[in-house]
Amino acid sequence: MFALLPVLLLSFSWLSSALTYHGADISSLAVVEKQGVRYSDNGQVQPFETILKNHGMNAARIRIWTAGDYNLQYGLALAKRVKAAGMTLIVDLHYSDTWADPGKQAIPSAWPTNLDGLNTQIYNYTLNVVQSFANQGTPIDILQVGNEINNGLLWPVGEISSGGFHQLSELLHSAINGAKAAGNPKILIHLANGWNWSGLNSWFSGVYVPGALQASQVDIIGVSFYPFYDSGATLNNLKSSLTNLANNYGKPIVVAETDWPVSCSGGSLTEPSIPVSMSGQATWINDIKNILAGLPNGRGQGIFYWEPGWVGSANLGSSCADNLLVTSSGATRDSINIFSADM
């Protein structure tokens, strides 16, 4: 058995390194720093993006709202740090003044509320965002048009349960056309519940509409995969769902959001055999990486840990108290090494 260990380690390293993107969403970084938190690694204070890069991460994701803390100017400033660290830049457009997710997708307060007006607005807004990043020398590498848009965006106009797919398809078509008028980022479509093949298949089988969104406009499919919210969110279901997604829709696939707790007394997790600990964080991430690396035709392309440094909001919206890769003082945990094998 011991003689096989080097072979096994090499196997896991090969699977991990097969992924193009291994990174994190670091949107809250400047907000946390403003509160006085300083990040450190082995006792040395360093910028968080530098720490992540030193531990194998090569990509960073930044959310942008149409107003509030995570507005365009905030995102532009953070992008300079991402690019200076030599990382791939993913920009996540929520198309809302605040959080957008499967339960809420509010039209920005200053935007029109009819389809024609929104098609024009989302085109111009997306064009301006892409142009703004390019103008400061930090062009967007991957542009995510909408956040967890399982039931559409810009509700109620682009809400699937209200008006079907056609209006959503038009809006996404307009957004992507705006992006391509200003640059050439890869386009990522992001849905929640990556383990739910029925939901993914229903969405992609309906969203491509003649005269509106076409499959050729989409470069990457991203999914969220969390262990907190639904008993169906198992690793086996993720593997089955993403395998079907790769076979049926033929696009590169990333797990755009995930995390695992080091402390959890408030709820059950979908993989009870994985410990609630730093080693559990590493196991969870490695299991997802290996699922992605094993997808048909090399379709598995990347994984992003969601907000590993959000000191002050360590539950990350879950029922578990702490899902971070750093302590409450900003010092790295051993699990900061989840991507070290990818270097």
Q: Among all residues, which ones are annotated catalytic?
A: 148, 257
Query: In 3D, which of 304, 285, 200 has the Cα closest to residue 243?
Result: 200
Beta bridge partner(s), residue 91: 62, 143
- In whole angstroms, give the CA distance from residue 338 to residue 16: 10
CA 78 to chain centre: 16
Structure token digits, residue 57: 């991460």
Query: In 3D, which of 175, 144, 149 has the Cα closest to residue 161?
Result: 149
* C-alpha distances in Å from residue 30, one per residue of 9, 38, 48: 37, 11, 10
Q: Which helix (H) or strand (E) holds 253?
A: strand 253-258
Yes or no: say if 325 and 309 are a contact pair by the CB < 8 Å rule. Answer: yes
- In whole angstroms, give the CA distance from residue 163 to residue 315: 35
Structure token digits, residue 202: 């229903």
- The count of other CB atoms within 10 Å of the CB of residue 300 is 26
- Calculate ∠ Cα 48-84-331, nearest 5°: 10
Judged by DSSP in three states, 317 sits in: coil
Beta strands 220-224 and 253-258: pairing type? parallel
Q: In sequence order, which residues have a C-beta less than 8 Å from that of residue 105 and are 6 or more positions away?
A: 95, 96, 146, 149, 151, 152, 153, 154, 155, 158, 159
Structure token digits, residue 159: 């809400």
- Calculate ∠ Cα 302-57-80, nearest 5°: 105
